[in-house]
Chains A and B, each alone.
Chain A
Amino acid sequence: MSLALKALKKSPWVFHVNTGACNNCDIEILDALTPRFDLERFGILLVGSIRHADVLLITGPVTRNVLPRLKRLYEQAPKPIKVIVIGACGCRCGIFRDGYNIIGPVDKFIPVDAYVPGCPPKPEAIIAGVVKVLGTL
């Protein structure tokens, strides 16, 4: 394993994208980052700019309006980048699958490394998903 990958495992900085979710998964992501779980122990930080990110946390089904933005965000991220989809909607569109403005789940448009289903998933489940992605590196 190269040194850069080893370091990436020790400090994955996450960036958080909402592609049309109901905001519930976003609240759970912020819960996972609170002092109770203390993810900074593992070097996980929430960053404000996509250019600093190593992991994209995507919540929600992809709506027609957000698709070009999602593709641009993925292109703007410095590689290697890992994509984790949080919540049932991002995985399989969930209860919004018949919506007039929904054009599909996230993995139809950009490559996805892990899915964390649930409506919403618990913070423990989100952390387990991130750990599994880091295990595949």
Chain B
Amino acid sequence: MDAAKYLFNYLIFPGFLFTAVVGLLATWVDRKVTARVHWRVGPPWYQPFADTVKLLGKEVIVPAGARATGFLIAPVVGLAAATLASAILWMANLYPSSSFVGDSIVVLYIMTIPAISMIIGASASGNPLGILGAAREMKLLFAYELPLVIIMLTTVVKVGSFSFEEILGYQSANGIMLGSVSGVIAFIVAIFCAQAKCTMIPFDIPEAETELAGGTHIEYSGAPLAVVKLNMGIMFFVMPIFIITMFWGGVSFAGLRILTTILKYVAIITIMILIKNTNPRVRIDQAVRFFWGPMLVLSIIALILAVLGY
């Protein structure tokens, strides 16, 4: 009985099916808002679904120089990890009793696996541009993980616990983290880290369509490419939800709170999309300097303020 419940939670709700549908809709919001910024009409709402179905129907090519196993398994591993992160996050939000000690650490770890799977897949593709993309993805991962972990600690220091249940309980009892100075600073840093984690434009250095021609997913075609795109959509969904859980009081489906949940999520992705549309791509050394310089200083300030109780 328990196994069936876990399978349902992982595969249907709030796991794979729910996350994939909402993630693809989120990529549509991304493309639509981008189009409106360009003063265009933009694609219809079913566009990401049409793209996915089309890619599933196309030929899958494994390049001659590639290691087929690693090349084909990597996107699936990334998808499984992103789905698991989403399932744990939503279960902790919707049914607080399913939260366990240290699940925020687990989610933080699992959310790095999609990036690592892309590094493995691109390295196995045997394409020089793909390998360049993998090297950049690795540097970017090292760059943004450090401030992300430190700002997570600001919440943990205040709450005194690593579990989502206590983090959410503390926020509903004492007001959201965004209401304090340290919370606001941490939230700003978190938005930039989310931008890098979703590889959106100031930090889309591993993909860099105009210089690496797709970078980490240059050699993917057909169904694996659909999985890679789905992966990106899911990360674009999970990362803002993680930020909302940590700093903005969490998500809920109870009554009117479903509306505020959607508003919180759309507010965060709109900020991310506007950053994407108003900035050029930075070089990898600039990105690392940005995260290990200003962002690290800001996050340490937030941590010190949190320790002092602000």
Contact = CB atoms under 8 A, between A and B. Distances in A.
Interface of A: 2-5, 7-8, 10-11, 35, 38, 40-43, 47-49, 51-52, 54, 76, 78-80
Contacts of A8: 54, 57
B42 A40 contact: yes
A49 B40 contact: no
Contacts of A5: 57
A112 B181 CA distance: 63
Interface of B: 31, 35, 38-44, 46-47, 50-51, 53-54, 56-61, 209-210, 212-214, 217-222, 225
Given A48-B213, A49-B213, A49-B214, A11 B40 contact: no
Contacts of B214: 47-49, 51-52
A4 B56 contact: yes
A3 B61 contact: no
Contacts, number: 83
B225 A54 contact: no
13 contacts: A2-B57, A3-B53, A7-B51, A8-B54, A8-B57, A35-B40, A48-B214, A49-B219, A51-B214, A78-B59, A78-B222, A79-B58, A80-B59
Given A49-B218, A51-B225, A38 B54 contact: no
Given A10-B46, A38-B41, 7 more contacts: A2-B57, A10-B50, A40-B40, A43-B43, A51-B218, A52-B220, A54-B58
Contacts of A41: 40-44
A78 B60 contact: yes
A80 B58 contact: yes
B40 A48 contact: no
A8 B212 CA distance: 25
Nearest to A76: B61
Contacts of B217: 49
